[in-house]
Copies of this chain bind each other. A is one copy, B any other.
Amino acid sequence: MSEGLSLWKDTPTRQAILDFIARITAQESPDFIPPTERIANFDNDGTLWLEKPLYIQLQFGLRAIGKMAVEKPELRERQPFKAVYEKDMAWLGKAAADYAKGDMSGIMTLGAGYLEAFDGISVEAFEAAAREFLNNAQDARFQKPYKLLTYQPMVELVHTLQENDFQVFITTGGGRDFVRAVCEEIYNIPRSMTIGSSVTFQYAEDAQGVAQVLRTKEAEQPIDDGPGKPPHIHRTIGRRPIMAAGNSNGDIHMLKYTVGHKGLTLGLLVHHDDPEREYAYDEGAEKALQLALKEGWIVVSMRDDWKTVFSPSAG
């Protein structure tokens, strides 16, 4: 095991992860768990890939809203189409600032615009749009396509767990179908093991009589965040996980549900403390960081525990 996690510095964090894997997988270990029950859940935004300065999906949404406002002038009369079309940074900045203070109204308006932009299209058409964006749109600071801005030590951890017969699921607060467009390519995680928030769907037959699943503009409840994560995990997996990794307050309930499993468990919290290679921020993670101490979750320091952050090809 000692040669595992080559992208991690030789710190107590790395050692704790390797010890956990060894104790779960060794047949003679009192903590041995069979592969069927080796369930691990990873949050996505800020845990597996970049979430600053804006969620990647929000960048995708802003483009879709802008495109729609160009195509349908009548939409420019109302938000969020008006602000995005006019590049009204005051309105957009206020939505972001309000969100940071716990006022969801501006973000909800943006979210509704996003759902409206893809209302009624087939799941295959949405997948193609998401993949096109993730393949081609670039982050301004790192100058690379978004799909390359995954945290390589975390991706290595996913693969190490898979090699040790863990079943690794993504549990994203963001849109499940957005992540599914690339999850196999960038993480080696199947679409069926990618859980997340979603719209509801409608069955329909097209003009040729071919059955289709169409998106609606209605968000499915609960969203896969905070106390919604454990219900989503149960619904998709049907087992309580033994390992979970997150980075924000939205991951607290998932972490609690995981460490509530009898026997040995592992909770990880990625701490963004690396302004040089990525970002440093505690906003939205204050409570999780506080709880980590009390609950025994391991805090991963991006700065101190990782040899690298992004893939070299990502600059």
Contact = CB atoms under 8 A, between A and B. Distances in A.
Interface string A177-188: 100100010000
A177 B192 CA distance: 18
A94 interface: no
Q: DSSP class of A's interface residues: helix, strand, loop or mixed?
A: helix
Given A36-B184, A177-B238, A180-B238, A231 B200 contact: yes
A223 B180 CA distance: 24
A235 interface: yes
A287 to B, nearest CB: 15
Nearest to A206: B260
Contact of A213 (B124, B190, B193, B231): B231
Interface string A255-273: 0110010000000000000
Interface string A206-225: 00001111000000000000
Nearest to A216: B231
Contacts of A200: 231
16 contacts: A36-B184, A36-B190, A123-B234, A123-B238, A177-B238, A180-B238, A191-B238, A192-B192, A192-B193, A202-B231, A203-B227, A205-B256, A210-B260, A212-B257, A213-B233, A213-B234
Contact of A212 (B177, B235, B260): B260
B227 A192 contact: no
Given A203-B228, A211-B253, 15 more contacts: A36-B184, A123-B234, A167-B192, A180-B238, A191-B238, A191-B239, A200-B231, A201-B230, A201-B231, A201-B235, A203-B227, A203-B230, A211-B256, A213-B234, A213-B257
A50 to B, nearest CB: 23
A150 interface: no
A152 interface: no
Interface residues of A, number: 39
Contacts of A194: 238
A210 to B, nearest CB: 4
A75 interface: no
A119 to B, nearest CB: 15
A90 to B, nearest CB: 37
B211 A260 contact: yes
Contacts of A210: 260
A237 interface: yes
